[in-house]
Amino acid sequence: MVMASKLIGVIGAGMCDDSIATIAENVGREIAKRGAILICGGLGGVMQAAARGANKEGGTTIGILPGSRREDANPYIDIAILSAMGHARNAIIAQSSDALIAVNGEYGTLSEIALSLKMGKTVVVLESKWKIDGVIVAKDAREAVEIVFGKISVR
C-alpha cells in the first residue's frame, strides 16, 4: 500500500537517444528514492527509461496509456491505466501529478507542459528545446527532482 504518496509526472517523447534516456532513468531513480510514485504516459523512450529507473530503485510506476491494450505499456509499468482516449490522456497525467519533470520532448511533451502550467503545477524541464515562461530549468536529473520535492513539500 502506498497511501499518501506523491505522484511525480515524467513526460517526454516516445523515442529518444541514449543520452536523453540516461537522464530520464536518473530522474526515475531519484523519484523512487524519495518514496514518490512515478506517473507517465506508459510508452517507450523517456517514459520507459524513467519507469526503468524507478523500477530499479523499487519504486512504483503508473502509466496512463493512450490506447486500450495493456501490452502497449513498457515493461517497467506496474499499473497500466488504459485511457483509450489518445492525446486527451495528457490532461489526465498533468492533472494527476503533484509536479512534473519534462525531459527533452516533442510536441506531445509541449502540450503536457502547457496543460500542467495551465493547471498551476510546478514543471521542471531538462534539455528542453522551447523557452516557455513559467517552467523551471534544471541542469541535471538530481537537481530537477530536488526542485520538485522542494516545491511540493512546501504546500
**Shortest distance, CB of residue 18 to a copy of itself, whole angstroms?**
23
CB nearer a copy of itself, residue 23 or residue 91? 91
Residue 4: Cβ-neighbour burial (10 angstroms; 0-12, 13-18, 19+): exposed
Cα separation, 134 vs 26, whole angstroms: 24
Which cell is 111 given?
502540450
Binders in 57-86 for a copy of itself, by CB under 8 A = 58-62, 64, 68, 78-86
Other CB atoms within 10 Å distance of the CB of residue 34? 17
Which one of residues 71, 131, 154, 155 is an interface residue with a copy of itself (CB under 8 A)? Answer: 131
Closest CA to 137 of 122, 155, 149: 122
Residues that bind a copy of itself (CB under 8 A): 1-3, 5, 7, 37, 55, 58-62, 64, 68, 78-88, 90-92, 94-96, 106-108, 110-112, 114-115, 117-119, 129-134
